[in-house]
């Protein structure tokens, strides 16, 4: 079993190897995720509306 101090030393060592994205890359990817989420919500909302109207028509 590894001691907690050795574990955290290893974590810090590994984090120094990480290549973090630039601010511009982060903004671009975040914008992309938000845009795709909104489009998917609109698409699923549209399908829900269509199936709701279809179910209402079949029930009547």
Q: Number of structural domains, the chain?
A: 1
pLDDT for the residue 47? 98
pLDDT tens, position by position, 31-58: 999 999 999 999 999 999 999 999 999 9
What does the pLDDT read at residue 40?
98
For residue 15, being part of any structural domain is answered with no
CA distances from 43 to 30, 31, 37 (A): 20, 18, 10
Q: Does the residue 7 lie in any domain?
A: no
- Structural domain includes residue 35: yes
**pTM (two decimals):** 0.68
Domain region containing 27: 20-59
């Amino acid at each position: 079993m590894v001691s907690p101090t050795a574990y955290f030393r290893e974590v810090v060592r590994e984090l120094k190897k990480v290549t973090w994205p630039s601010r511009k890359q982060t903004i671009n990817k975040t914008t992309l995720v938000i845009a795709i989420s909104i489009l998917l919500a609109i698409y699923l909302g549209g399908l829900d509306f269509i199936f709701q109207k279809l179910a209402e028509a079949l029930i009547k």
